[in-house]
A and B are shown apart, each in its own frame.
Chain A
């Protein structure tokens, strides 16, 4: 679901004409459709932010918000009528900025007032190449409400001392047509890309030799993603046969698989863990439990044991005496055979 946001009706006119959207009874300037909705947010940060907040409240699902419209160019090198996907949005006298597109080089600043002269333009041009009146307010609202946001702007004029508002208004239909054409291209591209859905992780989830709980699925995804990135391989290259051939239950196999992936991803931590295990094996075998800091930061551990007789107490006490604190310290000081 997309919500296309325009400052003025003039910019949105072609969209309202061709998109299947209907006006909403209790909110002027919001037009709702099945796939796409349109909002006319007005000018100024406050106005834009308030209207968008209200519109997002009216829509059942959180949409992807796209601000489309015209803007001024502060940089004479930016061509008139060119359309830009905005990288970073700044606002006049505001510290915060919002970035969405990483692959473009055009930034925009939302100005506090409508009519800019050359002096204003010079000041704002230090920050960005383009200027508008609403994008920052919209981006801010989306950030607060967790909606994705991007801005696509058509350059209608270069900021000079000349009065251009009337001229821009007269051309609004042309601008709206150009924006609509650009939007249609984007929709086509995005539909073409939709076939390549990510099917990673699916294989093991449907494999009857394994049983993964919800949290194990998450753990598996994270481990696989990291190993794939680290080793530059695909999921298919991760060998499962050594686990499927084991005479174990699916749950046990899954546990072993996850443990093996962990060891593969964190070889150093595994060595630390193994060394600590070897120091405590005998006591563990006799029913004691050792808990080390999971990040191996604290030079301490928790020890517990179930004692049910004098003999068991003496036995555990003897074993504990054998535990070498200095060996434990050595491990924590990195004296490991790596």
Chain B
């Protein structure tokens, strides 16, 4: 999977680092002082991840927690994300990571104790001043579960959040890799959220990810084990059969988990910053985005025209509610 593995000298004995290197015994391992001396120092084209992907195992330096942007999760409660990794093994054509780092190489951070300490401090601080919940999200810069059987940190996170039931953890994924979570007892405040699209859309845009059936099966298993489930219908890419394809998707989902039992369903349409759009153009010049109805908005973002965005969001929201989802649990990811 990885061309080369680079590991910071200081963490060679770290239990999580060892676990990772043990999983890739065939890869060349190179010791380095600091991943930052190499990662992103030269502009490595994104698509080289297909055949020239390196892995860095490192300690996360600097801020371990960041406030999440607006429209992140249900409103009214503070949201933070923690960074456990940079980049992703998957290759989604719309992914903003294409324009984010200067390299597609994967960085896995292994100083989980420090990340957990930062999370706990934030929970304690929040609890003193508010009786509302507080949210923490994994997967802002990487998939939360795709490599979780190799990275092995999930039990620690579950232990912490089980101590603080007013704090919520969201593990966001496109994978069907639930091997690790299956082993852990569920907690009402730890939500595993799956990004879903109609199967044809997954095949057309979510390269190297598990198909819809595998993701649904994973959802079913976790739901039956009592794990809270979240769903992200984001990004929606318009097709003339959009309504039918989402009816089919939601009906399939409803069969394995009643929509009313889903903690939240987010709905969002595909959108790009100018930089990411240019990267997509370079990486996927034949993509349907370039003959679609996307426009450049006044804010410089590439998106569907306002009436179209609203139509798509409201239509899909309505389909969810029509099939039993609680109106309060369906939220729209929109900037206007």
B-contacting residues of A (Cβ < 8 Å)? 87-88, 90-91, 94-97, 99, 102, 105, 107, 122, 126-127, 225-227, 229-230, 265-269, 272, 295-299, 331-336, 338
* 25 A-B contact pairs sorted by A residue (CB < 8 Å): A94-B42, A95-B102, A97-B43, A102-B47, A107-B48, A126-B38, A127-B42, A127-B44, A226-B290, A229-B290, A268-B238, A268-B304, A269-B308, A272-B305, A272-B307, A295-B297, A297-B295, A297-B305, A298-B298, A332-B310, A334-B308, A334-B310, A334-B312, A334-B313, A334-B314
A-contacting residues of B (Cβ < 8 Å)? 4, 6, 30, 38, 41-45, 47-48, 51-52, 54, 102, 238, 240, 286, 288, 290-291, 293, 295-298, 304-314
Task: Tell me the bound Cα distance from A99 to B6 in angstroms.
Answer: 24
Task: Tell me the bound Cα distance from A298 to B307 in angstroms.
Answer: 10
Task: Tell me the bound Cα distance from A96 to B140 in angstroms.
Answer: 26
Complex contacts, B311 vs chain A, CB 8 Å: 268, 334-336, 338
**Which of A94, A126, A331, A335 is packed against the most chain B CB atoms within 10 Å?**
A126
Please pick, from B47, B288, B312, the residue contacting A230 in the complex, using a CB distance under 8 A: B288
Task: Tell me the bound Cα distance from A334 to B304 in angstroms.
Answer: 11
Q: Considering the complex, give the chain A residue whose CB is closest to the CB of B308.
A: A268
Distance from A45 Cβ to chain B, minimum over Cβ atoms (Å): 14
Please pick, from A227, A230, A331, the residue contacting B307 in the complex, using a CB distance under 8 A: A331
Task: Tell me the bound Cα distance from A297 to B300 in angstroms.
Answer: 12
Distance from A85 Cβ to chain B, minimum over Cβ atoms (Å): 15
Q: A296, B307: Cβ atoms under 8 Å? A: yes
Complex contacts, A331 vs chain B, CB 8 Å: 307
Q: A272, B308: Cβ atoms under 8 Å? A: yes
With A332-B306, A334-B307 in contact, is A227–B45 under 8 Å at CB?
no
Complex contacts, A335 vs chain B, CB 8 Å: 310-311
Complex contacts, A105 vs chain B, CB 8 Å: 51-52
Q: B291, A265: Cβ atoms under 8 Å? A: yes
**Which of B44, B47, B296, B311 is packed against the most chain A CB atoms within 10 Å?**
B311
Q: B298, A297: Cβ atoms under 8 Å? A: yes
Please pick, from B51, B102, B291, B312, the residue contacting A226 in the complex, using a CB distance under 8 A: B291
Q: Considering the complex, give the chain B residue whose CB is closest to the CB of A269.
A: B293
Q: A295, B296: Cβ atoms under 8 Å? A: yes
Q: A333, B310: Cβ atoms under 8 Å? A: yes
Complex contacts, A107 vs chain B, CB 8 Å: 48, 52
With A88-B45, A97-B45, A272-B305 in contact, is A126–B310 under 8 Å at CB?
no
Q: Considering the complex, give the chain A residue whose CB is closest to the CB of B240.
A: A267
Please pick, from B6, B30, B286, B310, the residue contacting A229 in the complex, using a CB distance under 8 A: B286
Q: B306, A297: Cβ atoms under 8 Å? A: yes
Task: Tell me the bound Cα distance from A256 to B293 in angstroms.
Answer: 20
Q: B6, A126: Cβ atoms under 8 Å? A: yes
Distance from B198 Cβ to chain A, minimum over Cβ atoms (Å): 17
Q: Considering the complex, give the chain A residue whose CB is closest to the CB of B52.
A: A105
Complex contacts, B54 vs chain A, CB 8 Å: 126
Q: Considering the complex, give the chain A residue whose CB is closest to the CB of B299.
A: A297
With A105-B51, A295-B296 in contact, is A333–B102 under 8 Å at CB?
no
With A126-B30, A272-B307 in contact, is A96–B293 under 8 Å at CB?
no
Q: B305, A126: Cβ atoms under 8 Å? A: no
Task: Tell me the bound Cα distance from A114 to B9 in angstroms.
Answer: 30
Q: B314, A99: Cβ atoms under 8 Å? A: no
